[in-house]
Amino acid sequence: MDFNIFENSFDVVIVYDDSGVIEYANSSFYLFSGLSVARVVGKMNLTKVFLEMDEQPLQLSSFVGIKDVRPMKVISFKTKSIEKGLGQYSIVPFEGKYIMFFKDVTVEEELHRKYRREMGLKDKKIEEMDSLIELLQNTRLVKEPSKILEEFIKHILNNFGLGVGFLKNNEKQTVVKLLNTNHVGQSTVFDSLNKKIQQLPATEKYTYFENSKIKDIFSTNHIHSMVVIPVNPQAKDSYEIFLPIHGPEKDQQFDHQKVITLTEQMKLLIQNMALERLSIFDDLTKLHNSRFFREKLTEYTNRYEKLNLVLLDIDFFKKVNDTYGHPGGDAVLVHVGQILKLYQDKEVLVSRVGGEEFAILAANQTLDETLDMAAKISDQIKSSVIYYEEKQIKCTISIGICSWNPEVQSVRDFYKKTDEALYESKANGRDRITVLQSA
């Protein structure tokens, strides 16, 4: 059987043998456990993944020797990264192996508890809790406010049977139309609203426009009423949601209080995301900061077997500050950051880790590929000119590189060796690249 059919499953899928040794784990396994699949398969058994089940050390004997399908069971669990978890699992014996299907429902359970606490009513309608949980699940991996709000609008359309909704970005003065796929045929009658919504002045509170006002305000006879929901009205990145209601029956079914409650959750989600962004980005260069880099250094060394670390330092930066002042030094830092950001992608992470020091984690690259990237960065910085107060500033960088070798290195040794490479570049005249390998 080709177990790769489970690769795109949102649930964790683990295949193991009679000794509990894991022979296959899908991509969801890494997100759940924080353990690299490459370092687990053929090397670890279940007891290294699940430290506890139902508050007891995992008993391997309970998970092997199974002849028939073990139906879904709910358990509490503990892993290296999850102290108190709640999960569901079932086991299917197959050709001398065992396939475990595991679903982490910790987040869902916590949301249930949180919602009950906030509402203060244990008997609150279960459909409202389910609606909130579904919405938060759909948006928890989304990192852009506009995309979160688009998911929110789709959720409202689906829950109340509305055909279309609009999202207005007040800063950019743009309007995006979102459709309920079950009502596509009705959506075209709302096309004329785009321009009208774009022209309307911003509102700062939840507003309901009843039928008698629709024609005067929105210049249309096609809708019965309209709900307008401002999001972050006082902030620079403020939005408005427009929900046209088509007909009196839909109007009566529309639960304003439920929508207001869900809107508050979306506002909190966006505000928390903004705070999180502030905590992981350097305010000057807009690159990731040293705190985020340290977290990712540990994650990447667990996740990738092929990994290179690059440390870069602007040469004679103190002289730049002394000559042009700190604003001139900031201009140089911003310029270097902009160049470094060009090389960032999903497997290349760029961070500012000190005053004039930067770091690059290059995953799934050979040493030659990383060396080539470093040379291009060095040449690009050396050949560019930074303009500051009618002055022209030029600079160079020193670079140190090391490849990750988990057989002989700790994460600390990995960083230390790269730092030694950077020091050699600076000691040998700067404006050069030094590569050091572990002994």
pLDDT one-digit tens code per residue, 99-114: 999 988 776 656 556 6
Residue 438 in this model has a pLDDT that exceeds 60: yes
List CB contacts of 54: < 8 A, sequence separation 6 or more. 75, 76, 77
pLDDT in tens, 395-420: 999 999 999 998 888 899 999 999 99
**If you search the block for the tokens 């950001």, which residue do you land on?**
341
- Here the tokens at position 91 are 């086991």
| Most confident option among 111-120, 234-243, 381-390 | 381-390
- Here the tokens at position 76 are 């509490």
- Helix ranges (DSSP H) in 99-210: 106-119, 126-139, 145-160, 184-187, 193-199
Name all domains of the chain by residue range, CATH numbers in brackets. Answer: 3-104 (3.30.450.20), 142-279 (3.30.450.40), 290-435 (3.30.70.270)
Residue 123 in this model has a pLDDT that exceeds 80: no
> Residue 122 has what pLDDT?
45
> Residue 127 has what pLDDT?
55
Strand partners, 433: 399
pLDDT in tens, 148-172: 888 889 888 988 888 899 999 988 8
At 90, phi and psi to the nearest 5? -140, 155
- Here the tokens at position 133 are 């949980």
Distance CA 214, CA 207 (A): 13
Distance CA 435, CA 400 (A): 6
Binned at pLDDT 50, 70 and 90, residue 348 comes out as: very high
- Helix ranges (DSSP H) in 161-192: 184-187
Residue 371 to residues 322, 356, 376, Cα–Cα distance (Å): 32, 21, 9
At 393, phi and psi to the nearest 5? -115, 135
